[in-house]
């Protein structure tokens, strides 16, 4: 298939280029070798690489407030809900997502169905059960471990066929008795888990709200720090530590801030300015950011990344091009898919989204995709 007369943003440049996209066997190619290839005039539509959400929970229902109730419908129904969420995501232009935790590995089943073309959805990479402390953040997912047991939990994820490892380095909000400020493990434990994961070729995504946990994760050399909330005893965002930032920058750690569309409710000037300053300082130190929403937590819907990106841009102080890179080429690189997706380039998976207006000029356009192409397959938006 040859899509002609497009304005193409390749995932990296600062502007769009007029041109055509040629797709064969699910990939972009430079020219078609098929003389009977179909040619379609796209009338100047705008094409960008498919969007990537680096932090979702496919098994969670955003309308369910009680974290213990998510498994109540039973495995079959929850699997069906995951399929429905996946379909809505790809229809919204999200062609890849990284799942950072669940309890029953049902998202891994749907991952495989999507890869086999049996169900439509984003390409998924999944972490399975996050490693957490006894009674720690999201312990109900089954990944509880004392410091000594952490590697055993990692090994169990490996047997289940995960793509990466998720570790709850600090506490979190949704778990009763868990505090975001607190580190859950000894320094040495975090270092050891990361070392074992790397030996198996896994990335590690580290859930970190507290500044001490961010330090542990950064010094252990995790791949991505999730949330990165700079929480100390004085509250959210208030314990920004430049020494930890340099540690992250030196170790090439990406930050996945999980800023979702719901952050629009934070209209307090003090809070906004504090968050913006933290991101300004991180950016100045060379930290790279990726787009993520934590979809699945209460009121954060799986298909809402397009709505989240303008809000992310606002809080993190990113231009439209920067935020789009964070949701395409940079995100793909951070999650280990930098040679596969996130760019419009021959040899890459034909994952792209078409819009009637230029998203580099107005990010709000992302909410209204004209058409989505996922691994060469055309999908009607919804
Ligand atoms: Zn999460």
What's the 369 CA to ligand 1 centre distance in angstroms? 26
Helix (H) or strand (E) holding 64: none
- Report CA(102)–ligand 1 centroid distance (Å): 9
Residue 68 CB partners (closer than 8 Å, separation 6+):
140
DSSP strands (E only) in 10-50: 17-24, 27-29, 39-49
Locus of tokens 């098929």:
34
SS3 263: helix
Within this chain, do residues 151 and 217 fall inside the same structural domain, yes or no? yes
Q: How far, in Å, from the CA of 55 to the mean position of ligand 1?
A: 6
Residue 123 is inside which H or E element, if any?
A: strand 123-126
Domain count, the chain: 2
- The domain that holds 319 is classified in CATH as 3.20.20.140
Find, among 360, 292, 303, the residue nearest to 12 by Cα: 360
Distance CA 264, CA 279 (A): 17
The pTM assigned to this predicted structure is: 0.97
Q: What is the DSSP string of 311-379?
A: HHHHHHT--HHHHHHHTTHHHHHHTT-TTTSSS-STTSB--EEEESS-TTT-GGGGGS-SEEEETTEEE
Are 347 and 315 in a shared domain? no
Centroid of ligand 1 to alpha carbon of 271 (angstroms):
22
- Do 244 and 348 fall into the same domain? no
Both 368 and 330 in a single domain?
no
> What is residue 182's DSSP assignment?
S
Are both 39 and 163 inside the same structural domain? no
CA of 356 to the centre of ligand 1 (A): 33
CA of 181 from ligand 1 middle (Å) equals: 16
Say how many Å lie between the CA of residue 80 and the centre of ligand 1.
21
Going by C-alpha positions, the residue among 259, 74, 57 that lies closest to residue 138 is: 57
For each of the chain's 382 residues, which pLDDT tens digit applies? 999 999 999 999 999 999 999 999 999 999 888 888 899 999 999 999 999 999 999 999 999 988 788 888 999 999 999 999 999 999 999 999 999 999 999 999 999 999 999 999 999 999 999 999 999 999 999 999 999 999 999 999 999 999 999 999 999 988 888 999 999 999 999 999 999 999 999 999 999 999 999 999 999 999 999 999 999 998 889 999 999 999 999 999 999 999 999 998 888 888 999 999 999 999 999 999 999 999 999 999 999 999 999 999 999 999 999 999 999 999 999 999 999 999 999 999 999 999 999 999 999 999 999 999 999 999 999 8
Cα-to-centroid distance, 100 and ligand 1 (Å): 6
| Residue where the block lists tokens 């002609």 | 4
CATH number at residue 38: 2.30.40.10
Of 292, 187, 280, 208, the residue nearest 242 (C-alpha): 280
Tell me, in angstroms, the distance from the centre of ligand 1 to residue 241's CA: 23
Q: Which of 227, 207, 307, 314 is nearest to 262 (CA)?
A: 307
- Nearest Cα to Cα of residue 263 among 205, 313, 318: 313
Q: How far is the CA of 56 from the centre of ligand 1 (A)?
A: 6
Total residues found in the chain within this entry = 382
CA of 23 to the centre of ligand 1 (A): 35
Its domain, for residue 348, covers: 2-49+342-379
- Claim to verify: residue 119 and residue 266 sit in the same structural domain: yes
What's the CA gap between 328 and 351, in Å, rounded? 10
User: Do residue 223 and residue 110 come from a single domain?
Assistant: yes
Write the CB contacts of 281 (distance below 8 Å, at least 6 apart in sequence): 240, 242, 245
Q: How far is the CA of 296 from the centre of ligand 1 (A)?
A: 8
222 and 98 part of one domain = yes
Q: Are residues 117 and 203 in the same domain?
A: yes
**Contact between residue 335 and residue 203 where contact means Cβ atoms under 8 Å apart:** yes
Among left, alpha and beta (phi > 0; psi -120 to 50; other), residue 176 is beta
11 and 55 share a domain?
no
Q: How far apart are the first and last CA of the chain?
A: 23
- Do 288 and 373 belong together in one domain? no
Instruction: Kindly give the distance from the C-alpha atom of residue 77 to the centroid of ligand 1, in angstroms, as a whole number.
Output: 22
Whether 176 and 279 share a structural domain: yes
Q: From ligand 1's centre to the CA of 294, what distance in Å? A: 5
Q: What is the pLDDT of residues 54-103, one digit of tens each?
A: 999 999 999 998 878 888 899 999 999 999 999 999 999 999 999 999 99
């Amino acid at each position: 298939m040859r899509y002609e007369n497009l304005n193409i943003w390749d995932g990296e440049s600062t502007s769009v280029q007029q041109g055509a996209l040629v797709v064969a066997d699910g990939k972009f190619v430079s020219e078609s070798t098929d003389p009977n290839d179909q040619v379609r005039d796209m009338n100047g539509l705008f094409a960008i690489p498919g969007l990537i959400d680096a932090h979702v929970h496919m098994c969670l229902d955003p309308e369910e407030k009680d974290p213990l109730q998510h498994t109540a419908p039973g495995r079959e129904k929850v699997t069906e809900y995951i399929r429905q969420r996946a379909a809505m995501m790809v229809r919204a232009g999200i062609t890849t997502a990284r799942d950072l935790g669940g309890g029953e590995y049902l998202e891994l089943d749907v991952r495989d169905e999507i890869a086999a073309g049996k169900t439509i959805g984003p390409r998924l990479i999944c972490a399975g059960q996050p490693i957490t402390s006894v009674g720690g953040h999201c312990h109900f997912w089954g990944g509880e471990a004392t410091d000594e047991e952490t590697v055993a939990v990692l090994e169990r994820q490996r047997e289940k066929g995960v793509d990466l490892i998720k570790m709850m380095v600090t506490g979190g909000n949704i778990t009763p008795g868990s505090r975001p400020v607190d580190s859950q493990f000894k320094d040495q434990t975090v270092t050891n888990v990361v070392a074992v994961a790397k030996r198996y070729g896994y990335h590690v995504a580290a859930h970190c709200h507290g500044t001490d946990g961010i330090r542990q994760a950064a010094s252990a050399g995790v791949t991505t720090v999730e949330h990165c909330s700079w929480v100390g005893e004085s509250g959210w965002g208030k314990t920004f530590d430049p020494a930890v930032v340099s540690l992250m920058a030196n170790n090439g750690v990406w930050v996945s801030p999980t800023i979702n569309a719901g952050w629009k409710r934070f209209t307090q000037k003090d809070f906004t300015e504090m968050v913006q300053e933290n991101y300004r300082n991180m950016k100045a130190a060379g930290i790279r950011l990726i787009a993520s929403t934590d979809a699945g937590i209460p009121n954060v819907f799986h298909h809402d990344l397009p709505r989240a990106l303008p809000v992310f841009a606002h809080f993190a102080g990113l231009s439209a091009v920067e935020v789009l890179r964070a949701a395409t080429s940079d995100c793909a690189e951070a999650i280990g898919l930098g040679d596969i997706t996130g760019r419009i380039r021959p040899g890459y998976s034909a994952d792209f989204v078409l819009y009637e207006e230029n998203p580099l000029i107005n990010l709000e356009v992302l909410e209204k995709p004209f058409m989505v192409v996922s691994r060469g397959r055309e999908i009607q938006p919804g």
